[in-house]
Amino acid sequence: MEQDSSRENPSREGASWPGDPPSSTLGQALSQVLHRLTSEESRRGKARSAAIQDLDALIEAAECDQLFEGSDTSLRGMPEMLGQVAKALGKYAAPPKEQEGRARGYSEVAEKGAAVGVLFLKLMGKIEAAKNSLLCPTWKIGLRPLAGPIYIFAVTHSLEQPWTSPRSRDVAGEVLALLLRVTQCGSVAGFLHGENEDEKGRFTLIMELLKPDLNKESWKNNPATKHVFSWTLQQVTRPWLNQHLERILPPSLLISDDYQTENKILGVHCLHHIVLNVPAADLLQYNRAQVLYHALFNHLYTPEYNLIQAVLLCLLDLFPILEKGLHWKGGAARPSTHCDEVLRLILTHMEPEHRLLLRRTYARNLPAFVKRLGILTVRHLKRLERVIISYLEVYDGPEEEARLKILETLKLLMQYAWPRISCRLVVLLKALLKLICDVARDPNLTPEPVKNALLEEATDCLILLDHCSQGQVKDLLAKILQSCEDSKVVNCIRKVQQVSEGASYDRN
C-alpha cells in the first residue's frame, strides 16, 4: 500500500516543529508514531493503540543521549517533537464531550489515562536518570516542551472525575510527583509561579496551552479543561496572580455564565479566588470589579442554594473593593452601596421562600451582611423585622441552622441599630417568647444540644432587647413568671432578670 502525502510529511497533520524533523532513526520513528496518533485515519479502529505500544517500546529502548543527540538543529527539533508527542498523548487520553461520555461511559478513557501515564513515567524517568548522572547535559532542553503537556495530563487524570479510576488517578499522581521532582519544585504552586523571585514559573505556559480550549466555541469540547483551569488557577495566589489577570478573568467569567449549575459554581469559585488574590487597584482598573459584580448579581435570581452560597461568599469579599473609593463626608445622606442592593434582593427572596435549603443558605449569610452594613442596616429594618419574625416561627430540622443564624442576626441588629429597637419591643418580645416556648415543649424532634443552643441565643436576644428598651422587658417578663410552669422557660426568664439587675450571667 502506498503512503499518502500526509504520512510522508507528518507536519501537515498537526505535528509541526521548528525546522526539519530530526533525521536520526529514533527521530523518524517518533515522527511516524506522532503521525499515527494525530491523523484522522488513526482515530478509527486500533491504530492509535498500536502507536502507543510502539512508542512504549521506543522509550524503553532509547537512552537519554539518543533522545537529544545530533547537531544544534536536531537539538531544537527533537525536544519540540517530544512536546508534540506529549500533546498528542494528552488528547488521546482526554475525555470525550459530555454527551458522548454519557452514552458510552468513561471506563475506556480511564484505561487510556493509565496507559499514557505509564509512558510519561518512563519518559521522565529517562530525564531524571540523565539529570542525576550528568552524562546528558541537554536534559533541560527536552524537559521544557514536555513539562506543560505532562502537567495538564496529570491534573486531568489525578482529580476525582467520572473519566478517572483509582488506577488512573494513582498513575497520574505519580506523574505529577515525578514532574515536580524532575523540575526541582517543592510544590505545584512553585512549579507554576516559580520557586523564587528570579524564576519565571510555568503558569503562563499552562494558560497558553489551555487557551485554545477555553474560548466560547471550544471550552465544552473537553470536559476536563475547565477543571484543569480551575484547579491550576487556585494554586497561584498573591503576589503572583495579578500579572496573569488578562488570561484568567475571561475564562472564569465564561464558565460562570453557563446554563449548567455545576459550571456556574465552578466559575464563581474561580472569580472568588481572583477577588481574594488580585489587588483592589487592578480589579478597579478598566471597571473590572463592576463587571464581576454584575456577573455575580445575576446569579442571585437562581433557585440553586449551592450556587447562591458561592455567590454570596464572593460578593462579601468583593464589597470592600467596590466601596473602596466611597467616603462619606457628612451632611448629606450616605449613598446606597452594592451591599445595600444585594441585601435588598436577598430579603425580597427570603420573605416568601419555603424551600428549606434556600432558607438556610440565606439565613447563613445574613449576619455577615448586617456586620458589613453596621448602623446602615436601619435602611432595611422593616423588612429584616418581617424576615426575622417569620423565620423564627418555622421549625428548620434537627440542626435548626436557619433559626440559630436568624437569632445571631437579631443580636447583631440590636447592637448596631439599638435606638430603633424599642419601638419594636412588643413584636420582637412575642416572637422570642414563642420560640422559647416551642423549643421547651418540643418532645423529641430536636437534639438536646441544639435545644440548649436555641434557648441560650434567644435568652441573649432578650437581654439585649431589655437593654435597648431601658428595662421594659424585665418588667413584662415578671408577670409571666407568676403563671408559667415550664422549667426551661422560667429558667430563661430568670437569666434575663439576673443580668438586668446586674448579676453575672453564666451560660454554662
Q: What's the pLDDT tens digit per position in 346-374?
A: 999 999 999 999 999 999 999 999 999 99
Q: What is the mean pLDDT of residues 223-227?
A: 93
Q: What's the pLDDT tens digit per position in 244-281?
A: 999 999 999 999 999 999 999 999 999 999 999 999 99
Look at residue 445 and tell me whether its pLDDT is greater than 80: no
Look at residue 101 and tell me whether its pLDDT is greater than 60: no
Q: Using only C-alpha atoms, what is the Rg of the chain?
A: 31
Using CA atoms, how far apart are residues 150 and 147, in angstroms rounded to an integer? 5
Using CA atoms, how far apart are residues 74 and 19, in angstroms rounded to an integer? 9
Chain centroid to CA 161? 15
Look at residue 217 and tell me whether its pLDDT is greater than 80: yes
- Which among 154, 163, 49 has a CA at the least distance from the CA of 106? 163
Q: What's the pLDDT tens digit per position in 283-328?
A: 999 999 999 999 999 999 999 999 999 999 999 999 999 988 666 5
Least confident of 63-72, 267-276, 306-315, 334-343: 63-72
For the chain, the domains span 1-235
What pLDDT does 65 receive?
Answer: 65
Look at residue 143 and tell me whether its pLDDT is greater than 90: no
**pTM flag (> 0.95):** no
Look at residue 236 and tell me whether its pLDDT is greater than 70: yes
- Say whether 399 sits in a helix, a strand or coil: coil
| Beta carbons of 188 and 235 less than 8 angstroms apart | yes
Query: Any idea what DSSP says for residue 381?
Result: H
Residue with cell 529517562: 126
Question: Which residue type does 308 have?
Answer: I
Look at residue 196 and tell me whether its pLDDT is greater than 60: yes
